[in-house]
Structure 1
Amino acid sequence: MSRVVCVSCIDGRIHDFVFKAIARIFPDTMVDLITEPGPDAFLTKPESTQSLIWDKIDLSIDVNSSKAIICIAHEDCKGHAVSKDQHKLDLEVWLKNIKDRYPKIPSHAFWIENSGLAEEVGSSLSLKS
């Protein structure tokens, strides 16, 4: 069974949607879940916070052999209370940074609505979880 690493919000309301969205693209895959309030904004946080998240992603890749990196942002996020458009822009910045840091590992970013609709940022793919 393969494995991916996902940086997602700490908000438990979206966790089922997160796993369902990932399963649509990576069926039969284990997920190493890193949670952080407003994860799509972590590149704007203090260097110490960034370092902790990078270290966890590195661990998942180096020790658990994760084959992809995913970031999730969601509607009504209290940890990063910005518009949907801003979340999507932040996810695009996140993707660029991930691709620069891990050029050989596929990366994905999703916006999840309260209804469970998961939209891949940078793609026309929409999934109903």
Structure 2
Amino acid sequence: MSKATFATAINCMDGRVQLPVIHWMKENYQVEYIDMITEAGPNHFILNGTEEGLESMKSKVNISTEKHGSEVVAVVGHHDCAGNPIGKNEKVAQTKKSLEIIRSWEPSVTVIGLYVNESWEVEVISE
């Protein structure tokens, strides 16, 4: 079996969380590239976004899995998110609910939940 080249992150647009997530996913999934699908507060957006917005996100996830061969999709929440200004526990709960939706879009890939804490370190919240 050949090594996967891509993984996917549905991440916040906040630039502070991009590199921690990229580094963590590269290290933990031995991939070269991370397809980054960004949204302000993506865990909130997946649960409450418009149908049009969700279809756009779903299309991007599909491109990553079908065209780039991504075998893992991460949904990321983070500390101090301007787009989803709620506490960690509620954000983690939203992320876990979001995973169910992403799994319904892409049942053949691994979908995980991540949280970037106040030290800009990645924590696994669901695998």
- TM-score normalized with structure 2 length: 0.89
Question: How far did 1:107 drift?
Answer: 0.9
Query: Within 1, Cα distance between the matches of 2:25 and 2:31?
Result: 10
Query: Within 1, Cα distance between the matches of 2:126 and 2:18?
Result: 22
Structure 1 contact 2–67 (Cα < 8 Å) conserved: no
Equivalent residue in structure 1 for 2:61, among 57, 60, 67: 57
Higher mean C-alpha deviation, range 1-10 or range 114-123: 114-123
Supply the RMSD in Å over aligned alpha carbons: 1.4
Moved over 6 A (4+): none
Letter in 2 for 1:29: E
Question: How far did 1:93 drift?
Answer: 0.5
Query: Within 2, Cα distance between the matches of 1:28 and 1:58?
Result: 18
Aligned to 1:93: 97
Query: Within 2, Cα distance between the matches of 1:12 and 1:25?
Result: 21
Q: Secondary structure at the match of 2:80?
A: coil
Q: Secondary structure at the match of 1:111?
A: strand
Aligned to 1:70: 74
Query: Within 1, Cα distance between the matches of 2:31 and 2:11?
Result: 19
Structure 1 contact 38–73 (Cα < 8 Å) conserved: yes
Query: Within 1, Cα distance between the matches of 2:68 and 2:124?
Result: 24
Unmatched runs of 5 consecutive residues or more in structure 2: none
% same residue: 21
Query: Within 1, Cα distance between the matches of 2:13 and 2:56?
Result: 15
The question of 1:29 aligning with 2:32 is answered yes
The question of 1:3 aligning with 2:6 is answered yes
User: CA-to-partner distance for each residue in 1:70-124, whole Å, 9 max, x for gaps?
Assistant: 111100000011110111001101111122332221111100013122111126x
